[in-house]
Amino acid sequence: GARAAAPRGSWSSESSASSSCWEHRVVLLGDPGVGKTSLANAFAGIQERDLLEQHGGGCCVAGRGSLSSVTPGEESWRRSQCLQVGNAYVIVYSITDRSSFESASELRIHLRRARQAEDIPIILVGNKSDLVRCREVSIEEGRACAVVFDCKFIETSAALQHNVDELFEGVVRQLRLRREGKEP
Ligand code: GDP
């Protein structure tokens, strides 16, 4: 039934940082409106996305895994799915929205709980860095949060395509390091 389908809003994308298609699923988590879809689109490009969807590409960037908007029932099923399926996680908040920053910490805790024993790459992302006048979360706060949660940190602007490539290259690098670390 519908519940067995892939999470809505998930798609595939070939990494510009990798010569072969990723075998990895990167899940973007964060409050609604923080820019998950924009980030993934900025990275993937619509055409590439459609192409890979058709081929059922082996690599995936799944979006809209928002935790704060989920309610019991199907939504919580979707939430736990999102927390289980990723090989890497991008936790996104908006630098213009303090509550989304607080949600990011919650997401990190949920993720830790769901994947306790695993060493999964996680990157904390402060998006909308172009909206300097509306900033509610400083870059220092973002960095400090990443230290506490033991993950990487980057500020991006999906609107200006600033640091978007760096973000996804960072994800790929971390996935690679872990894969190479595991193989003899
Ligand atoms: P999602 O709900 O997390 O997937 O967020 P969306 O990607 O749909 O973005 C929500 C709104 O924020 C849209 O109107 C986007 O155009 C806008 N937005 C996303 N990223 C940025 C950014 O980096 N800068 C600015 N100024 N707006 C952005």
| Closest approach atom of ligand 1 to CA 162 | 23
Among protein residues, the one whose CA lies closest to atom 18 of ligand 1: 35
| pLDDT surpasses 60 at 128 | yes
| pLDDT tens by residue, 63-114 | 333 333 344 455 566 667 777 777 888 899 999 999 999 989 888 888 888 8
Q: Which two tokens stand for residue 33?
A: 């409106």
Quote the ligand 1 centre to 1 CA distance (angstroms). Answer: 31
Q: Which of 38, 95, 166 to mutate to test the pocket of ligand 1 (most atoms within 8 A of CB)?
A: 38
Sort strands 10-11 and 122-127 into parallel, antiparallel or unpaired: unpaired
pTM confidence score: 0.77
Among protein residues, the one whose CA lies closest to atom 6 of ligand 1: 35
Quote the ligand 1 centre to 179 CA distance (angstroms). Answer: 32
SS3 content of the chain, % helix, strand, coil (to 5): 45, 15, 40
| pLDDT surpasses 60 at 7 | no
| pLDDT surpasses 50 at 14 | no
| Closest approach atom of ligand 1 to CA 128 | 23
Q: With CA atoms as reference, report the closest residue to 28 among 60, 3, 70.
A: 60
Cα angle 130, 131, 135 (rounded to 5 degrees) comes to: 125
User: ipTM of this model?
Assistant: 0.99
| pLDDT surpasses 80 at 135 | yes
Comparing 39 with 156, which gets the higher pLDDT? 156
Quote the ligand 1 centre to 9 CA distance (angstroms). Answer: 15
Task: Say what angle helices 164-182 and 36-44 make with each other, to 10 degrees.
Answer: 80
Question: What is the per-residue pLDDT for 64?
Answer: 35
Among protein residues, the one whose CA lies closest to atom 19 of ligand 1: 35
- Residue 23 dihedral angles phi and psi, to the nearest 5°: -100, 20
| pLDDT tens by residue, 17-61 | 333 344 567 788 888 899 888 887 777 653 344 333 333 333 334
